[in-house]
Amino acid sequence: MANIKSQKKRILISKKENERNNSIRSTVKNAIKKYNALIANGDVAAAEKALPEVESIIMKAKTDGVYNQNTASRKVATLKRELDRIKA
């Protein structure tokens, strides 16, 4: 346990940030799972409708600092590639 006041505060702040980041990551993962379920069922129309929503969730997580720019872009590109694959 830290003895210095500023370090005690940092521990509390980092714990809050960690919980928030985990919550946002969980939201992103759940959105991707739902999207992938639509892709697996071959529901192209619903997947096309869901893609902008999922992309928005991912980009919001990037803006919040949970994901790096490249990580967020890679996740979105993977989703779009899957949609293109079932369209063809």
Question: What residue spans define the domains of the chain?
Answer: 28-87
- pTM listed for this prediction: 0.89
Structure confidence by residue, pLDDT tens digits, 18-38: 999 999 999 999 999 999 999
Nearest of 27, 30, 46 to residue 38 by alpha carbon = 46
pLDDT at 88 (0 to 100): 81
Q: Check whether 78 has a pLDDT greater than 90.
A: yes
Rounded Cα distance between 67 and 60, Å, is 9
Contact (Cβ atoms closer than 8 angstroms) between residue 76 and residue 55: yes
pLDDT in tens, 53-65: 999 999 999 999 9
Q: Please say whether the beta carbons of 13 and 19 come within 8 A.
A: no
Short-list 50, 66, 48, CA closest to 58? 66
Residue 34: closest CA among 61, 58, 67, 63? 58
